[in-house]
Structure 1
Amino acid sequence: MATWKIDPAHSSVSFSIKHMMIAKVHGAFDKVSGTLQYDASDVSKSSVEATIETASINTREAQRDTHLKSADFFDVEKYPSITFKSKKIEGSDEEFKVTGDLSIHGVTKEVVIAVEGPSSEMKDPWGNTKIGISGQTKIKRKDFGLNWNAALEAGGVLVGDDVNITLEIQFAKQ
C-alpha cells in the first residue's frame, strides 16, 4: 500500500451546469487537497479522501462567483469545504468505480465516480514520483440543498439541476 497526496498545482476539479436552459456554464474549484491509499495489487483495498475549499470557486465571472459563495448557494462562511471519502473501489484495467460519500452544503450523499487510471508512475524533473487519474460523475444540486433559482419570463429556470463534475488529479508519492 502506497500513500499519495494530491498535487494541487497539477490537479483540477471542474464542473458544468446549464444556464438559462440554453448553454452550459463551466467553473472550477482552485483549491483541492487529499490523500490516496493505493494498493496496485488489490485496488479494492485502496481508499481516497479529498477536500475542496468552497471559497476557491472560479467561474471566470467575479459577480457570479460572489453569488455562488453566498448563502443562496454554497454559503462558504457556514460550509467552508466540500469533502469526499471513498467507501468502495472496484474495477480493473485502469477503469474503476469509486463509490463514496460526497458532502456539500452540510448534506452527505453517496456518489459513484467513473475513474480512468491511474496512469503509469512517472518521475517529474525534480525526482518526485507521480500518477494521474481522470474521473467523472453527475449530481443533482438540489439533492445537496442548493435550491436557489429564478424563473425565466419565457419559461424555465435560470440554473439547471444537473451538475457534471470532472476530475483531473495528479498525485505525488509520499
Structure 2
Amino acid sequence: MKVLTSLVVASIVGVSGLFGSSFNVDPSHTNVGFKVKHMMISNVNGKFNNFEGTFSIDDSTKKFTKLDGIVKVASITTENENRDKHLKSADFFDVEKYPQMKLKLVEHNGDTALVELSIKDVTKTIKMDVEDISGMVKDPWGNVRTAFVLEGKIDRQEFNIKFSKVIETGALMVGNEVKIIIEAEGILTK
C-alpha cells in the first residue's frame, strides 16, 4: 500500500510540473517603474535599469505560482542626474547600505497578487493588481515568451524612506504615496 501511495504522489507531482511554465525576465523588454507626486502638483516618473527575476505560471489557471525579483537600486533614473543622486543618498534609498530591493510572491488570487516587498531594512506584504498575463507566443528565434503587468501603491514612509521637506504652501516636496508599475516580459526556461 505504501508503494502505491508513493506512486500516486509521484504521479501527481510529475503531472503538475507538466502544466506549469517557468520564465526568466527579459530586461530588454521589461520596465520596473514608479510614479510619485512632486510638490503635490505634478508627478515624477522613474525606473530602475538593472534588475533580474523569474516567475512561474500555472498553465491551466494562468496564475502565478512563483514570482521573484531583485532590483539594483543604484540603477534608478528619473532623467535628472541631480535628483537621481539625491534618491541614491541616505535621504531616500541609501544605496551604499541597501543596494537591493526584493519582490517575492505570497499568493495570487483573481486579479490580485500579494507580494513581499523589501526596501531598505523593511519587508512588508503589499497588494498588487495583476492587469494582464498574456498568452504564450514564439518569437522568430524560437523562444517562448509571455508578459504581465503588476501595479500597486506603497507609503514610502513605511519603508523608511523618510525625506519630508515641506514647501511654503505646507505641502510635501515629495508625496508619500508611490505607485509601482512592473511591465514584464519573460522567456520560457529550457
Q: What's the TM-score bracket when you normalise by the shorter of the two chains?
A: over 0.9
Report whether the alignment pairs 1:107 with 2:126. Answer: no
Contact 2:164 2:174 in 1 (8 A): yes
Specify the alignment match of 2:34 in structure 1. Answer: 15
Q: 2:101 aligns with which of 82, 89, 93?
A: 82
Residue segments in structure 1 that go unaligned for 5+ positions in a row: none
Contact 2:131 2:151 in 1 (8 A): no
Q: 2:181 aligns with which of 126, 146, 166?
A: 166
Q: Distance in 2 between matches of 1:117 and 1:26?
A: 22
Specify the alignment match of 2:90 in structure 1. Answer: 71
Could you say if the C-alpha distance between residues 57 and 45 of structure 1 is closer, same or farther in structure 2, counting changes exceeding 3 Å?
closer
The alignment yields a C-alpha RMSD, in angstroms, of 1.3
Report whether the alignment pairs 1:40 with 2:59. Answer: yes
**CA deviation after TM superposition for structure 1 residue 116, in Å:** 2.2
Specify the alignment match of 2:163 in structure 1. Answer: 148
Q: Distance in 2 between matches of 1:111 and 1:50?
A: 15
Contact 1:141 1:163 in 2 (8 A): yes
Q: 2:149 aligns with which of 112, 118, 134?
A: 134
Contact 1:47 1:89 in 2 (8 A): no
3-state SS of paired residue (2:133): coil
Q: Percent identity?
A: 38
Deviation >6 Å, runs of 4+: none
Q: Distance in 1 between matches of 2:64 and 2:25?
A: 19
Q: Distance in 1 between matches of 2:78 and 2:151?
A: 19
Q: Distance in 1 between matches of 2:64 and 2:140?
A: 30
- TM-score norm. by structure 2 comes to 0.86
Q: Which has the larger radius of gyration?
A: 2
Q: 1:3 aligns with which of 19, 22, 35?
A: 22
3-state SS of paired residue (2:181): strand
Specify the alignment match of 1:98 in structure 2. Answer: 113
**CA deviation after TM superposition for structure 1 residue 118, in Å:** 1.4
Q: Which amino acid aligns with 1:163?
A: V
Contact 1:119 1:133 in 2 (8 A): yes
Q: Which amino acid aligns with 2:94?
A: D
The structure with the greater share of residues assigned to helix is 2
**CA deviation after TM superposition for structure 1 residue 154, in Å:** 2.6
Residue segments in structure 2 that go unaligned for 5+ positions in a row: 1-19
Q: How many residues align?
A: 170
Q: Which amino acid aligns with 2:27?
A: P
Q: Distance in 2 between matches of 1:8 and 1:44?
A: 21
Q: Distance in 2 between matches of 1:45 and 1:163?
A: 24
Specify the alignment match of 2:10 in structure 1. Answer: none
3-state SS of paired residue (2:184): strand
Q: 1:125 aligns with which of 125, 140, 148?
A: 140
